[in-house]
Amino acid sequence: MRRRKEARALAISVIVCALGVVLVVPFSNSAASSGALTSDTTEVPTSDGESSPDDTSPANMSPASTNSANTESSVTTSKGAVGGSTSTLPDEPIVDDSGDVVGNESGCVLTVRAIRRGNAGANVTCLQQALKAAGYLDGPVTGKYTQATVNAVRKLQTEKELFVDGIAGRETAIELGIWPDEASAVVRTPKPAKGAKDLLGYELSSVASAGADAPPVPEDSGTGRRIVYSRLGQRVWAIDADGRTVRSWLVSGAKFANETPGTHRVYSKSKITTAWNGKATLRLMVRWLKTKIGAIGFHQIPIHRNNNKPYQTEDQLGSRLSGGCQRQAPLDAKFLWDFADIGTKVVVL
**In the chain, domain spans:** 185-348
Spell out, as residue ranges, where the chain has pLDDT lower than 70.
1-106, 276-277, 293-294
Q: Topology of 185-348 in CATH?
A: L,D-transpeptidase catalytic domain-like (2.40.440)
| pTM for the predicted model, two decimal places | 0.65
Tell me what pLDDT residue 50 has: 52
Q: pLDDT by residue (tens digit) across 194-206?
A: 999 999 999 999 9
Write a three-state SS string for the chain: CHHHHHHHHHHHCCCCCCCCCCCCCCCCHHHCCCCCCCCCCCCCCCCCCCCCCCCCCCCCCCCCCCCCCCCCCCCCCCCCCCCCCCCCCCCCCCECCCCCECCCCCCCCCCCCCECCCCECHHHHHHHHHHHHCCCCCCCCCCECCHHHHHHHHHHHHHCCCCCCCCECHHHHHHHCCCCCHHHHCCCCCCCCCCCECCCCCECCCCEECHHHCCCCCCCCCCCCEEEEECCCCEEEEECCCCCEEEEEECECECCCCCCCEEEECCEEEEEEECCCCCEEEEEEEEEEEECCEEEEEEECCEECCCCCECCCHHHCCCCCECCCEEECHHHHHHHHHHCCCCCEEEEC
The tens digit of pLDDT for each residue in 154-195 reads: 999 999 988 899 999 888 998 999 988 777 788 999 999 999
- The pLDDT score that the predictor gives to residue 276 is 66
